[in-house]
Amino acid sequence: MTVSRFRTIIYIVAAIVSLAGLADATYLSVQALTGETLGCGGSPDCFKVLGSSYARVAGIPVASFGVLAYFSVFTFATFAVFGYARARIFLILTIGAMFLATLWFLYVQAFLLHAYCRYCLFSAATTFLLAGLVIALPPGRDESVS
């Protein structure tokens, strides 16, 4: 397998994985905007996390930023598949920022709230997977689209 082909496969996998994160973040955003509580049914930890002040920034649900982030990853990965060289840089930067944000949210859940929410853990797993894919990207420049 050529390096170029391997990179393309990684971009495709990243795009697919980001769709799973996008679905999760969209669901959480809608849940936060409607005040719907059914999704947490029976899990006090889920309520503690999603009902905490850390779940919103200036009144905006943090899940909405997740929607933006995962959509950006999907966009950059898709463009990278088609050989847009800059997309790779943006993809790495976005996933790096998401990785740092995920570390912060895991810290909040573990040490400040002492509770975990399953949707947030799914999102964390998705971001870690994306970070792993980015790390696995072979170094060097992509072939550019003219």
Partner 1 sequence: MKRYLPFVIVAVVALATIGSGAMLYRAKRPQVLSIPANKMLGKGETQSAHIRGNPDAPVTLEEYGDFQCPPCGMFAIFLGQLEKEYDSRVRVVFRNFPLTMHEHAREAALAAEAAGLQGHFWEMHDVLYREQGTWSKTPNVRELFESYAGMIGLDLDKFRKDMDGDTARARVEADRQRGLSLGINITPTLFINNQPLDPKDKNPDGIRAEINAALAKKSQT
What does the binding site for partner 1 look like in residue numbers (CB under 8 A)? 19, 22, 26-27, 29-38, 40-42, 44, 47-48, 50-53, 55, 67, 71, 74-75, 78-79, 81-82, 84, 145
Identity of the residue, 60 or 135, whose beta carbon is nearer to partner 1 in the bound complex: 60
Identity of the residue, 47 or 99, whose beta carbon is nearer to partner 1 in the bound complex: 47
Residue 106 CA: distances (Å) to CA of 53, 102, 103, 116, 131: 15, 6, 5, 8, 15
CA distance 45 to 61: 18
Identity of the residue, 75 or 129, whose beta carbon is nearer to partner 1 in the bound complex: 75
Identity of the residue, 56 or 129, whose beta carbon is nearer to partner 1 in the bound complex: 56
Residue 102 CA: distances (Å) to CA of 40, 69, 74, 117, 144: 20, 12, 18, 13, 31
User: Smallest distance, Å, CB 63 to partner 1?
Assistant: 11
Task: Write the DSSP assignment of 76-98 as a string of letters.
Answer: HHHHHHTT-HHHHHHHHHHHHHH
User: Smallest distance, Å, CB 141 to partner 1?
Assistant: 18
